[in-house]
Chains A and B, each alone.
Chain A
Amino acid sequence: EMQLVESGGGLVQPGRSLRLSCIGSELTFRNYWMHWVRQAPGKGLVWVSRINSDGSLTSYADSVKGRFTISRDNAKSTVYLQMNSLRVEDTGLYYCARGGGSLESWGQGTLVTVSS
């Protein structure tokens, strides 16, 4: 099973930017759609964004559209989430997950805290 490891989280002020990374352990990384899902402390799961296997198709939740950008580098087995104009409500644990119609494999998450 492909392992996924997220990084790039941290404490950031409102209005600033952060880039998350997620690296996959398998050479077949390039075959899979990838997603970002976030979870605020003590709350439920919220789908954020997805990208298809070659990076040509991307989708976003309304709450992040225009502020977040998902991308991938299959040569590095890595998917990214560029987060701009961060808001307090963007705080949470950000997971990357592999899959198309279902999320089969998840990383451990990276924590993003947006606070002044």
Chain B
Amino acid sequence: EIVMTQAPLSSPVTLGQPASISCRSSESLVHSDGNTYLSWLHQRPGQPPRLLIYLVSTRFSGVPDRFSGSGAGTDFTLRISRVEAEDVGVYYCMQATQLGTFGQGTKVEIK
């Protein structure tokens, strides 16, 4: 089973400032078809998760361009260029290269 490790687990941020979350996998996430099935999701309290980024760096429909994803192999990063109040909640990375696994989640809150 591929293990996904996120850091930090908690991130107090100032409105308008950048934030980043790291996600590391225990094995390479490059699939035999050449794609890397690493995505990022955001969950607000009391709501289901919603997809932000898929295939490492592609923003899902309707996701603001302040969100960006990068990385390759086993190391990935989600960046928020300027944090807004609506960005609070928990962020998860997920791999679907080999079955499915989520990271532990990173809680983003406003300082």
* B104 close to A101 (CB less than 8 A): no
* CB atoms of B99 and A102 under 8 A apart: no
- Which of B13-21, B45-53, B72-80, B81-89 lies at the interface? B45-53
Complex CA gap A64/B25 in Å reads 22
Q: How far is the CB of A97 from chain B (nearest CB, A)?
A: 8
A13 close to B (CB within 8 Å): no
Say whether B54 contacts A102, CB under 8 Å: yes
User: Which partner residue on chain A sits nearest B104 by CB separation?
Assistant: A44
Q: Provide the residues of chain A in CB contact with B54, threshold 8 Å.
A: 101-102, 104
Nearest-neighbour CB distance to chain B for A68, whole angstroms, equals 13
Is the Cβ of B39 less than 8 Å from the Cβ of A45? no
Chain B interface category by residue count: 20 to 34
> Chain B residues near A109 (CB, 8 Å)?
48
Chain A 5-46, CB within 8 Å of chain B: the 1/0 string?
Answer: 000000000000000000000000000000101000000111
How large, as a class, is the contact surface on chain A?
20 to 34
Contact in complex: A47, B99 (CB < 8 Å): yes
B53-111 interface with A by 8 A CB criterion? 54-55, 60, 90, 92, 94, 96-97, 99-105
Q: Are A102 and B100 in contact (CB under 8 A)?
A: no
- B92 and A44 form a contact (CB under 8 A): yes
Query: What are the residues of chain B within 8 A of A35 when measuring CB–CB?
Result: 100
Q: A101 contacts which chain B residues (CB < 8 A)?
A: 31, 35, 37, 39, 54-55, 96-97
Interface centre among A37, A50, A107 (most CB of B within 10 A): A37
Residues of A in contact with B (beta carbons under 8 Å apart): 35, 37, 44-47, 50, 59-62, 95, 99-109
16 A-B pairs with C-beta separation under 8 A: A44-B90, A45-B43, A45-B102, A45-B105, A47-B101, A95-B48, A95-B49, A101-B35, A101-B37, A102-B51, A102-B94, A103-B41, A103-B51, A103-B94, A104-B51, A104-B54
